[in-house]
Structure 1
Amino acid sequence: MSDKVKDAVIAEANSVRAASQDVVKSGAYLYPFKGIIFFATHKGLWGPFASRAGRTISLGLGVTTAMFFFTYVPQMAVMALTSGPLAAVSAAILVLSESSAITNLLSRSFLLEDALLDTFDGTLIARNQEPLLAQGRQIKPQSGGRTAAARLGKMLSRPFTRLKPQALLRSLIYLPLNLIPVVGTVLYIAVQGKRAGPMLHARYFQLKGWNSEQQGEWVTKHRGAYTALGIASFVLEMVPFASIAFSFTNTVGAALWAADIEKATE
């Protein structure tokens, strides 16, 4: 198992290194920050977030408490070998980051799926992409001062994004990379960012009607951009106690990029 994990890490590192120039040139890493601004200035998109905030905060507190109880002392002991007197602080930051990653993974799969879908779709409406959204959802007419989210009608189709056991296992396998000061954390973020980027456009791919082969070709062609998007989004979602809010703003950012792609191809 250790050899397989080592080989997987080396392969991911080589892949990320090869795409590093495209990551910088793409500018896609800006979209999560554009998402923050857009979400903050469009109150009509706040409803899905507000409806799930209580349950996701409770999940986050539960996960964080359990992680500190079961993993803080062992990780502090390991960190003492590399961080010396700062081991207690380094281990606390590490546990908070791990808790945030686990909370985000679980909440996206079991609590936030519909809310994030509504946020993505509402952003498309706000960016005048009704023709694209109409491929997967009914849209109510714009009347009576309806907000973008209020115009969302019956769902006609949705991407299948439920948690897969292998996805959770993969995330847990890579968590120990954080025990390696600086380099390990950077590699962990790069690996998770590469995985997260295409997932943020799952709804876009579904609305385009692309099959898995078409999606793969598109992502491969724009690998650097998706890695950039994923890394920026993942870093924001690592922020303790704010990861859920950033899940929504990252979704907005991904939808903004999708809208820009559509406008560029018109």
Structure 2
Amino acid sequence: MAHPVIQNVQRILYYPAKANLYACLYPFKGIFYFLGHPWLFPLLRTRFVPAFLLSAFVLLNLFFWTYLPQVAFLALFHHNGSAWVNGTFLVLGEGAAIVAILFEAFLVDESQVDVFDAVLVHKGHDDLVRQSRPVSEEHLNNPVLCLGKPTQPSVYGPFSFRQIAEFVILLPLNFIPYVGVPLFLLLTGYRAGPLQHWRYFKLRGFDRKQRNAFAKRRRLQYTFYGAVYLFLQLVPVLSMFFLLTAAVSSALWAADLETERRQQEARIQGQDYTDEPAGGVD
């Protein structure tokens, strides 16, 4: 048995750090999972062209009209050329906010719901999805085709004016040399992370109090996950692709959480059963 000091170090440092690292990796797991499962591709195909054109139009105009003036302003505070790096992230952040308002928040949500639900079905949690929509068993090799039309309002992530406002308000953090960009991503990820599990919370039937308590217990995990998610959103013209892979990653995380929860419940039930006194025959 481990020494109490070692146990405390593991509990306080090792296990939280490990959980935060795993949370950071989920966005990348979502990318590889998406690329490895072609039945998800049609959900991207229908949205990719308009999203690509819109993102390209917004970013080209921002870089053409605003990049150099913003770099010149940042140069007042930066040295050794860091103004160019921070200026790039600043413009990309502005572009991500504009694209989110014009396109993502209104036209992509349905596709993200389908991606999220299909991944849950593929991971064996179709009982969760059935609470919101029928799931057939006619297309076992294609979870997307198994999904029926939702029987109740289905939202992947609600449009959050507060999140958009915070995103815009925190953009000036990019003025700070070197640490400005990471700080911006972490502070905006604080709110973006839990919103990526809005669909999971609804399928679980959480009310606001339960949702906040669940997120609070995993606050750092959601913050780091949200920071990586937002970083990927800053990649020029590929924000639509990373939006759908984000839905994949959040579903993979939800599936792991659900599996862990059910295993814990099974262990507790098993302990309750074995702890019962054996009854004799009179």
TM above 0.5, yes or no, is yes
Of 14, 24, 27, 2:17 maps to 24
After alignment, is 182-191 or 72-81 more displaced?
72-81
Aligned to 1:72: 67
Residue 228 of structure 1 deviates from its aligned partner by 2.2
Inter-CA distance 180–59: structure 2 relative to 1 (3 Å threshold): same
Residue of structure 1 equivalent to 2:270: none
Q: Distance in 2 between matches of 1:50 and 1:128?
A: 25
CA distance in 2 between partners of 1:185 and 1:30 (Å): 19
Distance 1:162 1:106 in 2: 15
Residue number in structure 2 paired with 1:61: 56
Structure 2 residue 37 is matched with structure 1 residue 42: yes
- Give the Cα–Cα distance (whole angstroms) in 2 for the partners of residues 161 and 85 of structure 1: 38
Partner of 1:174: 170
Q: AA paired with 2:17?
A: V
Give the C-alpha shift of residue 247 in structure 1: 1.3
Q: Choose the corresponding residue for 1:209, options 205, 210, 223.
A: 205
* Cα shift at 1:43: 0.6
The structural deviation recorded for 1:92 is: 3.9
Q: Is the 8 A contact 2:113 2:156 kept in 1?
A: no
Query: How many correspondences in the alignment?
Result: 247
1-side partners of 2:147 and 2:176: how far apart? 46
- Aligned counterpart in structure 2 of residue 242 of structure 1, from 226, 238, 245: 238
What's the Cα RMSD here? 2.4
Say which of 213, 221, 226 aligns to 1:225.
221
1:137, 1:155 within 8 Å by CA — same for their partners in 2?
Answer: yes
* In 1, Cα distance between equivalents of 2:172 and 2:219: 26
Secondary structure of 2:149's aligned partner: strand
In structure 1, the residue matched to 2:272 is none
Match of 1:126 among 108, 122, 138: 122
SS of residue paired to 2:138:
coil
What is the CA-CA distance between 1:261 and the residue it aligns to? 1.0
Secondary structure at 1:39's aligned position in 2?
helix
Q: TM-score, normalised by structure 2?
A: 0.79
Q: List gaps (5 residues or longer) in structure 2.
A: 1-11, 263-282
| SS of equivalent to 1:153 | coil
Distance 1:32 1:160 in 2: 16
- Aligned-residue identity in percent: 34
> Hey, what's the Cα distance between the residues in 2 that align with 1:73 and 1:20?
44
Give the secondary structure class of the aligned counterpart of 2:134.
strand
1:107 maps to what in 2?
Answer: 103
Query: Is 2:84 aligned against 1:91?
Result: no
In structure 2, the residue matched to 1:253 is 249
Tell me the CA shift for residue 166 of structure 1. 3.2
Measured after TM superposition, the shift of residue 69 of structure 1 is 4.2
Between the aligned partners of 1:205 and 1:43, the Cα distance in structure 2 is 27
Change (3 A) 1:193 1:92: closer
Amino acid at match of 1:68: F
Contact 1:96/1:240 (8 A) holds in 2: yes
**Cα separation, 2, equivalents of 1:41 and 1:160:** 22
Deviation at 1:63, TM superposition (A): 1.8
CA deviation map 1:235-263 (0-9, x unaligned): 22222222221111111011001111111
- 1:83·1:90 contact (CA, 8 Å) conserved in 2? no
TM-score (norm 1): 0.84
Is the 1:101–1:237 Cα contact (8 Å) retained in structure 2? no
Distance 1:23 1:51 in 2: 40
